[in-house]
Structure 1
Amino acid sequence: MAAIKRFFEKKKLDVKFKKAGSGHKLTEDTRSLSPQPSQRPGTSQGRPQAESEAARAAREAALARMSQPRPGTANNQLKALKLQARAELEAERALQQGAAAAGPTEVYRDGAPLLEQIGVYYNCPMVTPEVLPKQDMEKKIEEFLLAQLAEEPQMTSALMIHTLNKNAEKVKLCIETLCKYLDNIIANPDEEKFRKIRISNKAFQERVCSCDGTEEFIQSVGFKQRKLPFQDGEDDFYVLDEDQAKDTERLNTLKEILLAAEPIKAELDRGLRLFHPSPKATKFELHNDFYNITPEEMRKEQQLKQEAVEKLGMLRTKAMRERDEQRELRRYRFALVRVRMPNGVLLQGTFRATEKVSVLAEFVRDYLVNDWLPFTLSTATGQKLTEMDSTLAEVGIAPATVLNFALDPSVVAEIKSQQGTFDDKNLIKPEIMVLIQDL
């Protein structure tokens, strides 16, 4: 454990120096230097693209069909509902077909278009000061580990096993198997059979070789690859020398490192942004990353919507309604939230759709001058977010929304009565306000 702690402390120190930059000369004029808002890759301030011709034609055709009178039947209302559902399907299908030619697909929320532009980014201070898309960050983490391998082979290879493999059950089984090899050697250092691992062994291939980083860890233990007699011929083995096998203290340390290591994880970057008051507050440019729907899932969704047309003609049970609600909650992976402060300033952050309302509230509180003041967040319709344990998807603010911030009026009144004055408009910390920009 002490070795792991020293390893991470050293890397944190390296990162601090990297973040500090190249520095400035003592004679350099720094008056013109001022904090600049960070610009994450992939963001843009571009104008929304026009709706595709195919989508417009589909919508107009659907509206024309729906507007035609259908007299003489008792179930006109049911037919109208079915026609409306079919029209929505046709419009959505036309939007998908025209997306390749017309650019990002327009989606509407609170009357404003959502364009697929703003992406989801991650940070990992241990590895890099950069903020990157998840795939790029995972590549950076792998490069970081490979770069440390020559300097700290035992520690780094253990971290590689925990970090580079996503299947937790496979990682657990791999580590248990490697520890079993070490335990056998520690208990029987003079037994040659415990110092050999046949590489082609089925259990070894399935439990150990299938995970990244295991070859590096085995080599860091001291195993060498050799050809040895096996049955009627030869086979490849990992072999540990007898002298190294007798160093049980070192082997116990390696086992401890392997068990204590934890994966280096990229964390979701909140993407803190601060904007001047703007009529474009409800206009978002979202990337596909915000949605939990692949092309295959999109086709399934089409099928489900088609089935929904038929459901209109029958009663739905409570269980059926709950299944549909759960399906709706799983549509979104992330939520882009803008909080409108009393002075109109917009505080923006990115969250997982499964994160709780309490996390969003703490995000806002961190940037308040008086972080002890009670406040509420409410939607454009006036719905207050009071259920702190509910997820952002459950309260309906994914994939993007604008919330209104309000202080408790009774607390504000009490402060003003005691102090005589209180600025209840400019509530964001001054060091954060320097980041403000136009939307």
Structure 2
Amino acid sequence: MSAIKRFFQKRKLEVKFKKAGEGHRLDAPGTRHHSTGDGASGGRPTPRARPVDPQAAQKAADAALARLETKSKDGAVVVRARMRTEIEAEKRKLVEAEVAGQAAQASPREVILDGAPMMPQVLYCCPEIGPEVLPKEEMEAHIHAFLYSSLAEDPEMTSAIMIHTLNKNPEKVKVGIETLLKYLDNVINNPDEEKFHKIRIGNKAFQERVRSLEGTEEFLQAAGFTIRCLPHEDHEENFWVLSEEMCKDVERLKNIKEVLLAAEPIKPQLDRALKVFHPSGKAAKFEIPDEFYNVSPAELKKEQQRKEEAVEKLGMLRTKAMRERDELKELRKYRFTLIRVRFPDGILLQGVFKAREKLSAVREFVGENLIDWLPFNLTTATGQKLTEDNVTLAELGLAPAAVVNFSWDAEVQADITAQKGAQKDGSYLKPEVMALIQSMQ
């Protein structure tokens, strides 16, 4: 097992125990036992609406009208009409409130729908640090917090991973790491030369290549550098300085260098959002969220209109370059795609993929969920067999959503029939996957 894997396993175990909180005795003084009430009221009963007596409401209305009759008759007709209208409206509100209150008391507090929501979500996971599944920005923030919380335990490994993970520009990361390695090599190869024991923070190359990257300061501290103010030319400046004792520990510096070289970025992984559906006639009906597209649906519609107008104007005069350019634009429209795999028994296995992922990713997804892995085929709704595993889903026309059909490889079925005298049948998906089955809305 690599050092990085051991690091993450240890961290996950510590996080698990930290979340559990401190232990306590059940009979200890001051211990409170919490009820399991439902809702934000913490288990308190919901106040019941006071019943409204329609007869009492009518009596109150009649009394109000009677009082009007005793007043001056100047404008009495207008006043009575307005008051009668207001009183009748108030009476209707009271009666409606009573009916609504009775309905609320009679209805269940929790409604469970038999169907599953059709709209997919684009979520991310990171198995290296925990089971959480979150939107991408939240997952990146979670990774960021995890790394900073790990610094105290293993600063060398954590800071190296931070450099690889928390900086978006891979070219700048490459240059920054090369510069840090050069600093370490200078000390390793020249442990007694004082000029290699310090790095001037104001140096332009250091500012651009190293200091601009998140995690480099933590890495220098982990390597043993400290900030000191030293004379430079005719003034003083801040330097990262490695003590003479640290410089002589060449083996330790070599190990730190290896850690920086071996570290890899922690990346959020697209969660497949696995769902399993009963057979349904709605399998080919999709609700696709806007985030599946690189452009908005309105922009897509305008682009399609422009394309149709151009075709009408140019007719058959479109060049090969024009067609290729249109095809490229088409591929760039989609960020994600929703794939439903229909098995011979009608069961549907659904997953979310990046549009630029290859067909092999779908094959892997299906294979992971089969109760018995054997060679299988995937075909489109028109019967076209999908065999180009290294072609993207967008290029295969499977974006932004598609249904593909599953079947066992014919040669494998023939071998099974020859050996057992019967074709392979029964369930296709693992029991734990089938346990997730639900009806499609």
Asked if TM exceeds 0.5, the reply is yes
Conserved? CA contact 2:8–2:129, under 8 Å? no
Structure 1 SS opposite 2:327: helix
1:163/1:294 Cα in 2 relative to 1: closer, same or farther (>3 Å)?
farther
The alpha-carbon distance between structure 1 residues 16 and 237, as it changes in their structure 2 partners (threshold 3 A), is closer
Aligned-partner Cα distance in 2 for 1:204–1:341:
58
**Structure 1 Cα separation of the partners of residues 234 and 6 of structure 2:** 49
Q: Does residue 10 of structure 2 align to residue 10 of structure 1?
A: yes
Aligned residue number for residue 385 of structure 2: 384
Deviation of the 1:119 alpha carbon: 2.0
The answer on whether the counterparts of 1:271 and 1:349 sit within 8 Å (CA) in structure 2 is yes
Counterparts in 2 of 1:242-391, with a 5 A limit? 242-293=244-295, 302=302, 306=306, 309-314=309-314, 315-372=317-374, 374-391=375-392
CA distance in 2, matches of 1:375, 1:365: 9
Whether the aligned pair in 1 keeps the contact of 2:161 and 2:265 (CA below 8 Å) is yes
Distance between the aligned counterparts of 1:141 and 1:348, measured in 2? 27
> Is contact 2:355–2:399 with CA below 8 Å preserved after alignment?
yes
CA distance in structure 1 between the partners assigned to 2:134 and 2:331 by the alignment: 26
Change (3 A) 1:179 1:279: same
Structure 1 residue runs without a partner (length 5+): 21-114
**What is the percentage of aligned positions where both structures have the same residue?**
59
Which amino acid counterpart does residue 293 of structure 2 have in structure 1? Y
Distance 1:118 1:318 in 2: 37
Aligned counterparts of 1:116 and 1:134: Cα–Cα separation in 2: 21
Q: Matched residues in 2 for 1:155 and 1:132: separation? A: 25
Q: Is the CA contact (8 Å cut-off) linking 1:119 and 1:288 kept in structure 2?
A: no
Q: Residues 127 and 414 (structure 1 numbering): CA distance in 2 closer, same or farther, change over 3 Å?
A: closer
Q: Would the aligned equivalents of 1:161 and 1:212 in 2 still touch at CA under 8 Å?
A: yes
Which has more radius of gyration?
A: 2
Structure 2: unaligned runs, 5 residues or longer: 21-116
Deviations 1:200-242 (A, max 9, x none): 1111010001111001111111211122222332222212222
Match of 1:153 among 152, 155, 159: 155
State the distance in 1 between where 2:266 and 2:410 align. 45
1:150 is displaced (CA, Å) by: 0.9
Q: Distance in 1 between matches of 2:151 and 2:351?
A: 36
- Cα distance, 1:19 vs structure 2: 12
Contact map agreement 2:11 2:150 (CA 8 A) in 1? no
AA partner of residue 396 (structure 1): G
CA separation of 1:294 and 1:254: change in aligned 2, threshold 3 A: farther
CA contact (8 A) 1:274 1:437 kept: yes
The equivalent of 2:432 in structure 1 is: 431
Aligned to 2:208: 206
Deviation at 1:377, TM superposition (A): 2.1
What amino acid maps onto 2:337 in structure 1?
A: A
> Which has the bigger relative contact order, CA under 8 A and spacing at least 6?
1
Asked if the contact 2:188–2:250 (Cα under 8 Å) also holds between the matched residues in 1, the reply is yes
Contact 1:119 1:286 in 2 (8 A): no
Instruction: List aligned pairs for 1:102-117, cutoff 5 A.
Output: 117=119
Q: Is 1:144 matched with 2:157?
A: no
* Comparing 160-169 and 186-195, the one that deviates more: 186-195
Normalised to the residue count of structure 2, the TM-score between the two structures is: 0.70
Give the CA deviation at 1:15: 7.6
Deviations 1:265-315 (A, max 9, x none): 2222222211111232223333333222379xx769947853762453231
In 1: Cα distance, 2:370 partner to 2:307 partner: 48
Distance between the aligned counterparts of 2:169 and 2:439, measured in 1? 43
How far apart are the structure 2 equivalents of 1:393 and 1:16? 40
CA RMSD of aligned residues (A): 3.1
Q: 1:407 to 1:234 in 2, by over 3 A?
A: same
The question of whether the paired residues in 2 share the 8 Å contact of 1:116 and 1:287 is answered with no
> Which residue matches 1:216?
218
**Partner residue, 2:124:** 122
- 1:259–1:408 CA distance, 2 compared to 1 (3 A): closer
1:40 corresponds to which residue? none
Query: C-alpha deviations, 1:355-408, integer Å up to 9, x for none?
Result: 222321232233223321x43322223332232322211111111111222335
Q: How many angstroms apart in 2 are the aligned matches of 1:250 and 1:414?
A: 59
Question: Which residue does the alignment assign to 1:186?
Answer: 188
2:403 maps to 1:402: yes
Instruction: Give, as a single letter, the amino acid of the residue that structure 2 aligns with 1:386.
Output: T
1:341/1:199 CA distance change after superposition, 3 Å: same
Distance in 1 (alpha carbons) for counterparts of 2:304 and 2:233: 59
How much has 1:422 moved relative to structure 2? 4.5
Structure 2: distance between partners of 1:410 and 1:249: 58
Match of 1:65 in 2: none
Query: Contact 2:413–2:424 at 8 Å: present in 1 too?
Result: no
